[in-house]
Structure 1
Amino acid sequence: MKLCVIIPLCALFSVSQQAALVEKCVCQLSSLEKTFPYDKLKTAENNASHCNNKITSQKAVELESLLLGLDRRLPQLEEDVRILEREDDGDLYGVLSLYVIENEIAAINQLINNLNTTTLRHQSLTVNTTQQLQYVRNEMQELENFDTMQVVKRQQANQRLKKDLDKCINGRHPTPPPTQPPHGICPHGAFMNITGPRVYTGGEYPGSYKYGAWGRDPKPEKGKESWYWLVMLTSSNIYAHYVRLYSTLSSLIVGVSVPGNFQIHPSNPTTNTIQGPNVVLYGGALYYNCYNRDAVCRFNLTTKSVTDVQLPKGTRYNSKGNFCNLDACYPYTDLDLATDESGVWLIYTTSQDFGNLVLTKVEEGEQPSLGQTWHTSMYKQAVTNTFMACGKLYATRYVNTDVEEIFYSFDTATGKERFDVGIFMNKMHANIQALNYSPVDHMLHAYSDSFLVSYKVQFESDDSLYRYIF
C-alpha cells in the first residue's frame, strides 16, 4: 500500500517565501569619528587665496613709486624757487617762473594726496589681512584635529628627515673656507637672552633731550677704560655738535661730567656736526651721520679733526629711510652706526634695495673707508632699532609700551637670516631711540625717551657657566 503526501502549493510558496525573508540582513554603520568639515576647509582655502590676491609686490611698488616721485619733485621745486629769487627785480617776479612754481606745487599736492590715500588703503588692507590670516590659522588648527592617522605630522617629520639627510650628504663635500676672515664666529657662543635693566637713570638732564645715544668705547685709549660717552640731540631733536664724557658709570648716573664736552663745532647744526641719534664711539673717535649728507663722519677726540667717507649712490638720508614703530617713525634715523668685537658697522638702506636693510663694515683709520657689504631681505621701516654683536646684526620691533622684541638676526659669516629670534626686552619708557652693544662688558645700552638704560647680554658660554656653578 502506497502512502501519498499531498502538500498544497500555497504551503510550499509560503515556506519558500519565509526562507527568503530570513536570509535578508540589514546593517547599520555607526562611525565614532566626527564628520570632516569640508566646508571649513573650502573656506580656509578661499581666504588664503583671497590674501594671495590682495597682498602683491605691486602694492609695495605703488607706494615706492609715489615716494620716489615726491623725492624728485621737492628738489625741483627748490630749484625753481631759487630761479624765481634770482629774477626778483625789486618790484615784480618773473610771471613764467611763478606759473612754473604753481604747477609744481599742484603736482606735489596731488602726489601727497595719492600717497595719503594709498597709505590709508594699505593700512586697511593690513588690518583686514591680519584678521583673515588669524581666521585661517585658527581654522587650520581645528582641522588638524581630524588628522587621526597623523598624516600631516608624518609629512612634517619626513620633511625634517629629508633636510637632515641633505645636510649629511652635503657634509661629505664641505665648501671651501671664505677668502676673508668671518666676522660671525663668536667666542662667547650664541646670543641667548638679555636681562635687566641693570642701569636706569635720567643723568644730568632727565626728560630734557628725547633723542640721543650713550655707551662705552670698545677700544678705549690707555687710562680711559672706564669712561662712558653721551650724545644728546640738543637742536630740534635732530642735531648735536658735541660728545659728553664721564670718567665712571657712577659719575654718569649722578650727572657729574668729567672731563666734560668735546665740541665738534661751535655752531649747531653746521658742516660735519651730528645728524640723528645713532652714533658710536670707537678707538677714541666718534662715528656719526654727517649733517645734511649721505656720509659717515669720524671725529677724533684727541686731534679734534673730522674726516668722512661718502656712502653709495642711492643711500637714503635726511629722514627718508627711518626706523619706525607701529604708529610713527623715528626721524633722522637713516644711518645707524654700531660696534661689536670686530669694530664699527653701518646699517642703512638704499633705493636700489627697495628699503631693505644694508650692512657695511666701516674700516678703521684717520680717513674711514667702507669694507664688505651685505644685503638683507628685512624691510627697514618694519624695524625700530638695530645693533651688532659678534658679527651678527640684530633688529628689534615694537610690541607695546612695555616690551620690545629682538626678532631678527643676520649672520655675516653665513648670510643666514632668522625672523624668529624671540628675545624680549622690558622697557622703562615707550620708545627706544638708540641701541649700542658694548663688547667690553656685554651690555646693551639704550637711550629711551631721554633716559639711559642698560641690559646685560647673556651668551651661551655665560649660560653654561651659570648651570655649572649652580
Structure 2
Amino acid sequence: MTIAIPSESARHTTGRDTMPLTLLLIFALPSLALAWLPVEDWETGNVTISGDGLECVCSVFLPDSAFPADRVQHMQQLTTDLTLEVEIQMNKILLYGGKLDVFLGELLDLTVRVALMESSPDNYIKLDFELLRVEITEFESLVSQLIDSLNTSSPTLDSLYSEIHNMTLIVNQLETYDKSNLEVIRIEFAKLQRKLKECQEDEDSFFKPDIGNCNHTGITAVSKPIVIQLNAHLNPGYKYGGWGKDSKPVRGFESMHWYGAYSTPSVYEFYLYSNYDKILQRSSFTHHGLPQGYEGTGNNYIVHGNTIYYQAANPLRMSKLNLTSSVFSHKQMTKASESFTYTHSPKQYLDFSADEKGLWVMYSTEEVKGNIEIAKIDEKSFGIESVWTTNAFKPLVGNAFMACGVMYATRPGGLKTEEIYYSYDTATKEEKYMSIPLQKFQEEFANLHYNPTDQKLYMYNNGYYMSYRVRFNKG
C-alpha cells in the first residue's frame, strides 16, 4: 500500500490542513479477538522524497490477508435477530406479569374461601366443594399455560403451583370431613328443592298463560314481582327508561329483549339483546344511538315489530325508528298536552303500549282536562285510527298499559305498593274500578307495559328490571 503525504511546503501552498504524518489504522471485528501484529513484523517499507521536496511518498506492505467482510455481515444479522428476540421475550414477560397479578388477586380470594371452609366445614354442601374444585383446576391450568408460554420456571411460579396443589388437597380433605353432617345437609337441601319446585308449579298453574287468547273478562291477579337485577349500566341513577321484549317479534328474533335508561327523562340510545340470558349478562348484540335532531324525551318507549316507538319534543310528536331499514318517521300530536304526566314519570306525555289487538298510544288533552285518552295507531300509515276518552285523571295515575284492548291504570298505594284500580274496554266502552295489588321494589317507577308474547308486565323500577305474571279471568 502506498500513502502520499503532502510536505509542509505543500500545505502552505494549498492553504488547507492535511492529515498528520502519523497514521492509525484500526480494523475491528465484532465478537472476534484479533491481536495486532507488532511493527517489527511488518514487511519492509521504503520512503521516497521527490526532487523538489514537495511530496513524501511512503510504501508500507501489510500481511497478505483478506478482510472477512462476509463474516462481519453475518455477525451483524445475528445481532439484529437476537435483539428482536429479546424484545419479543421482554414483551411476553410484561404481558404475563400483568396476568400473574390478576391471577394472584383471584387466588387470594380463593384462599380466603378455602380458609373459611376449613374453619367451618359443616356449613357447606357438596356443590360448594365442586365449585371450588373447578376454580382451583382452572387456576392450575392457567399457571401451567404461563410456565409453558415463558418456556421457563421461577421460584414464584413454582410456589404458586405448589399452593394451588395444596388447596386441592385441603378441599378434598374438607369434603370427606364429617360425612354424616354433609349427608344431612344434602337431604334437607333436596327437600327444599322439591318444595320450591312444587310452589313454582302451583304458581305456574295459577298464572298459566294462554298466549294470544282474549276470551276472558280481564285481569284478576298479578304475581309477586320478579326483581331481575340492576340495569346494564350498573347505575341506580339511571332511573328513567325501560326494558322488555319485542311485542311483535320478527322471525329469528322471537327472544330479543331491549333496554334503555338515562339519568334524565330523555331517549337518545338503547340496547338490544338476543335473549333473556344475554340481558342478564349485560351482553348486547347491538347498540343504537339516536342522531342529533331525532332524540326523544320522557320515560317511555317500546319495541314492536322490530321498530322502536318513542316520544319526541319541539313539537310534541310520535317517532319511530325501523331497526331493519334505519328509517325514521314522525307524526305530530297537535292535541296532546304537555301539561299532564304520570305521578312517577316526568315528561311522559305520550305513553306507547302494545297488546294482542295492536299498537296504542295514551295521552291527555286540554279539552278533556287531563283525563287519559286512548288512540289506536295504524302501523302502516303511522296515523290515528280511533280515539277513546277515559275518566282516569292522568296526574293521579302511576302508569297505564293496554292488554286485549283494555286500558288498565295504576295509582300509588304506598312506598312499596301500587294498585291497578281502573280499566277501560275500547271494544265495549265499559269502565271498571278494581283493586289489584302490585308490589314494587322501590317507590317510583318510570315504565310499565304489558307484552302479549308472554302475558307479562315489565316494569323499570328506579333502575331495576322487574316483571310480573298476569292472570286473566277465564269466566
Q: TM-score range by the shorter chain?
A: 0.5 to 0.7
Letter of the aligned partner of 1:246 in structure 2? Y
Structure 1 counterpart of 2:427: 413
Counterpart amino acid of residue 457 in structure 2: L
Summarize deviations over 1:28-67 as a string: whole Å, max 9, x none.
Answer: xxxxxxxxxxxxxxxxxxxxxxxxxxxxxxxxxxxxxxxx
Deviation at 1:301, TM superposition (A): 0.7
Partner of 1:347: 362
Q: Is the Cα–Cα contact under 8 Å of residues 203 and 252 in structure 1 kept in the other structure?
A: no
8 A contact 1:214–1:436 mirrored in 2: no
1:460 aligns with 2:463: no
Aligned-pair distance for 1:392? 0.3
Once the two structures are TM-superposed, the CA of residue 199 in structure 1 deviates from its matched residue by 4.2
For residues 207-226 of structure 1, give each alpha carbon's deviation from its aligned partner in whole angstroms, at most 9, with x where no partner exists: 13011011111211111000
Distance 1:350 1:331, change over 3 A: same
Residues in 2 aligned to 1:219 and 1:185: alpha-carbon distance in whole angstroms:
15
Distance in 2, Cα, partners of 1:342 & 1:309: 21
Question: Which of the numbers 299, 304, 318 marks the counterpart of 1:282?
Answer: 304
How far is 1:185 from its partner? 8.7
Give the CA RMSD over aligned residues: 1.8
- State yes or no: 1:335 paired with 2:350: yes
Q: Aligned-pair distance for 1:459? A: 1.4
User: 2:220 aligns to what?
Assistant: 192
Structure ID, larger Rg? 2
- Match of 1:384? 398
Separation in 1 of the partners of 2:227 and 2:276?
9
SS of the residue 2:314 aligns to: coil
User: 1:375 & 1:272 partners in 2: Cα distance?
Assistant: 30
Q: Name the counterpart of 2:295.
A: 273
Native 8 Å contact 2:294 2:312 kept in 1: yes
Question: For 1:425-464, what aligned pairs fall within 5 Å after superposition?
Answer: 425-461=438-474
Q: Which runs of 4 or more aligned residues in structure 1 lie more than 6 Å from their structure 2 counterparts after TM superposition? A: none
- TM-score, length-normalised on structure 2? 0.53
2:382 maps to 1:368? yes
Please point out which of 268, 289, 293 is paired with 2:315. Answer: 293
The letter of the residue matching 1:437 is: Y
Matched letter for residue 316 of structure 1: S
Tell whether the 8 Å contact from 1:264 to 1:304 is kept in structure 2 after alignment. no
Q: How does 1:213-232 map to 2 (within 5 A)?
A: 213-232=242-261
C-alpha separation between the residues in 1 aligned to 2:432 and 2:473?
Answer: 18
The amino acid across from 1:220 in the alignment is: P
State the 1:190 CA deviation: 2.5
Aligned to 1:316: 337
Is the CA contact (8 Å cut-off) linking 2:355 and 2:403 kept in structure 1?
Answer: yes
The 2-side partners of 1:396 and 1:322 are apart by 13
Please state how far the C-alpha of 1:188 moved relative to its aligned partner: 4.9
Greater mean alpha carbon deviation, residues 369-378 or residues 237-246: 237-246
Number of matched pairs? 263
Asked if 1 retains the 8 angstrom alpha-carbon contact of 2:425 and 2:431, the reply is yes
Report if aligned partners of 1:185, 1:391 keep a CA contact under 8 Å in 2.
Answer: no
User: Helix, strand or coil for the counterpart of 1:330?
Assistant: coil
SS at match of 1:196: coil
> Is residue 202–residue 253 contact of structure 1 (8 Å, CA) maintained in 2?
no
Which of 252, 255, 269 is the equivalent residue of 1:242? 269
* Structure 2 gap segments, 5+ residues each: 1-211
Following the alignment from structure 1 to structure 2, what is the Cα–Cα distance between the partners of residues 330 and 282?
Answer: 22
CA distance in 2 between counterparts of 1:387 and 1:261 reads 26
Structure with the higher strand share, 1 or 2: 2
The one-letter amino acid paired with 1:372 is S
